[in-house]
A and B are shown apart, each in its own frame.
Chain A
Amino acid sequence: MSSSINREKFTQGVSLLFKTQWTALKLAVDMQWGGHDSEDKRDWLIGVIVDYFDKNGKNTDIDDLGTILNQVMIDEFNTLLEDDSAYQVSQDLIKIYNECIQGNYLTVDLLQSNQESTKQNSFLHSKKIKNHEEDEDGNSDDYDEILGQQNGENSTIENDEVIGINTSKSSKNEPIIDDDGFTLVTRKR
């Protein structure tokens, strides 16, 4: 049904708006002003907004929406917004909603392409990549040392197999068990 696609696109648009355009909320989640579950609070807020629009449709009052956003920022993120960013964000939300009703996904697609191209998430993104790389490098280094000492002859073959196992498992927090039954102790992730 077209309405479900509209709803999906609208949810995506709201999500992108909250993750990229609204700096106050973005900072609140990145700096965890709402505690360690700040990301969950943001996702909850996205759901609340979508439900609000579902209920009220075209009768959404911009002041009401802005007040809701302000209230959530105060309650969940301990953040007092003295600028008018909540009002501006609610303006954008209503605009996206009106567009999505008509099936016009221009703004949503624009936000999506912006998010992929801009360097806004480059710092955190590079941080996450660096952490993953550190994990993989650490694992393979330890394995090379252990196997090099034990089996000089078969080390090359086993290294390849071991590295293959490493790259598949290192992204998850499963205990890595050697062929001989030894468990590799890694730092907590």
Chain B
Amino acid sequence: MTTKRRNHGRNKHGRGHVKPVRCSNCARCVPKDKAIKRFTVRNMVESAAIRDITDASVYTEYALPKLYIKLHYCVSCAIHSHVVRVRSREGRRNRAPPPRIRYNKDGKKINPNVQQKVTT
């Protein structure tokens, strides 16, 4: 049988064992190097409600705190929640990050390939 990935789907080189972490979604044990890790930085108050909070606040200037969340996903949950996608055989070897679709000021989609030519 062929191997599907050269690194066997994880990032373990030179070690025999890594400790597992639990998936944030389903609590499945996943080795820490195999888990799909995502981080989000978010304000505690959503953008729509900032105005209301600052109006109702006692303090004149209060720096609203932020939430720093680290999420570990098992492979199943990552695919199910569209964090990662299935790729073709050639596409699997592409380790470059995916280009993000950006929007122009008018609200039109900028083609990421075109934008990369402009900025680089």
Task: Name A residues whose Cβ lies closer than 8 Å to a Cβ of B.
Answer: 23-24, 27-28, 31, 33, 52, 63-64, 67-68, 70-71, 74-85
Contacts and interface: CB of A to CB of B under 8 A. Distances in A.
Given A80-B40, A85-B41, A27 B68 contact: yes
A28 B39 contact: yes
10 contacts: A23-B66, A70-B100, A71-B102, A76-B97, A78-B37, A80-B40, A80-B41, A81-B41, A83-B66, A85-B66
Contacts of A76: 97
B69 to A, nearest CB: 9
A121 B15 CA distance: 32
Nearest to B40: A80
Nearest to A27: B68
Contact of B100 (A23, A74, A77): A74
A80 B43 contact: no
Contacts, number: 46
Contacts of A27: 68
Interface of chain B, main secondary structure: strand
B119 interface: yes
Given A27-B68, A83-B42, A33 B37 contact: yes
B38 interface: yes
A82 B100 contact: no
A31 B70 CA distance: 10
A83 B46 CA distance: 9
A81 B66 CA distance: 11
A52 B119 CA distance: 8
Contacts of B8: none
B66 A79 contact: no
A77 to B, nearest CB: 7
A85 B70 CA distance: 18
Nearest to B112: A71
Given A23-B66, A67-B102, A79 B40 contact: yes
Nearest to B43: A83
Given A68-B119, A76-B97, A82 B102 contact: no
Given A23-B66, A63-B105, A78-B37, A71 B100 contact: yes
Contacts of B39: 28, 33, 77-80
A82 B97 contact: no
B41 A74 contact: no
